[in-house]
Amino acid sequence: MRITKKFIVAGTAVVALVAGGGAAFAATSAATAPKITAEKAMDIAHKQVPGAWISELDYDRRGTRPDTWEIELTKGAQLHEVDVDAATGKVTDRGTKQSDGDDDDRDD
């Protein structure tokens, strides 16, 4: 009977720690949420490459440098990469490369 009580007390403590940690993480995540939403960043990227479809979207927190939305668009056999500043919405980088026809990211 004592072992069961110890497990219940220990389990309750773990749940409380996890719940508290999750709340703390949510509070810090909300405080640093990007001003430019993912939808807005995708709209900006589509204006850069009209008629393309978005094949990848990543949010990159860069520490001391501005956070960036990294968007990969596909149009025909071309892959376009557009970086959008998450605070201002400005395009910070843009590149194009030929698609190899393989949409599997094995080299990640």
CATH of the domain at 65: 3.10.450.40
> Do the domain assignments include residue 105?
no
Same domain, 68 and 88: yes
Q: Is the dihedral of CA 58, 86, 26, 18 positive or negative?
A: positive
Closest CA to 42 of 74, 76, 85, 71: 71
> Do the domain assignments include residue 83?
yes
Is a pLDDT exceeding 90 seen at residue 94? yes
The DSSP secondary-structure symbol of 101 reads S
Q: What is the CA radius of gyration of the chain?
A: 21
Same domain, 28 and 47: no
Q: pTM of the full predicted structure?
A: 0.62
Is a pLDDT exceeding 70 seen at residue 7? no
Kind and range of the H or E run holding 10: helix 2-31
Same domain, 94 and 42: yes
- CA gap 32, 59 in Å, rounded: 12
Same domain, 29 and 50: no
The pLDDT tens digits of the residues spanning 46-57 come to 999 999 999 999
* pLDDT computed for residue 103 by the predictor: 56
Q: 41 in helix, strand or coil?
A: helix
> Do the domain assignments include residue 106?
no
Is a pLDDT exceeding 60 seen at residue 85? yes
The pLDDT tens digits of the residues spanning 13-36 come to 445 545 555 555 455 554 478 899
Q: How many CB atoms lie within 10 A of CB 83?
A: 20
The pLDDT tens digits of the residues spanning 57-78 come to 999 998 888 999 999 999 999 9
Same domain, 19 and 49: no
Domain span including residue 91: 38-98
Same domain, 43 and 94: yes
* Domain total in the chain: 2
Same domain, 26 and 42: no
> Do the domain assignments include residue 85?
yes
> Do the domain assignments include residue 67?
yes
